Amino acid sequence: ELEGTRIDQLVAWAAHTPQATYTQKQLMSLWELSQGAVSNAIAEFIATGYMLAVPREGRQATSYQLTGKSQVIAGLQGADAAPGAAS
């Protein structure tokens, strides 16, 4: 479902602070990518269920968080994860 580069991006986030939420600007720094590349990655992660957009308040930038599915891919949840969590 995801290619190596996208998995590497998930692992980089999960290795840093898996429960944190990040804005697009923060992800640009974490992944060392341009805004356009980060925007494309976010769109793919959301479409495939690996990331969620956190509802924003007021004029704050949209933040994103990893889903449980991402944490399974990144190796943060053991084999005892709920059935279907990795699908």
Give the pLDDT of residue 77. Answer: 47
Give the pLDDT of residue 36. Answer: 96
Mean pLDDT by 10 residues, the chain (87 residues): 83 81 94 95 93 90 88 53 40
Among the listed residues 72, 5, 79, 85, the one whose alpha carbon sits nearest the alpha carbon of residue 44 = 5
Give the pLDDT of residue 85. Answer: 40
- Write down the pTM of the prediction: 0.75
Structure confidence by residue, pLDDT tens digits, 22-35: 999 999 999 999 99
User: In the beta sheet, which residues pair with residue 64?
Assistant: 22, 53
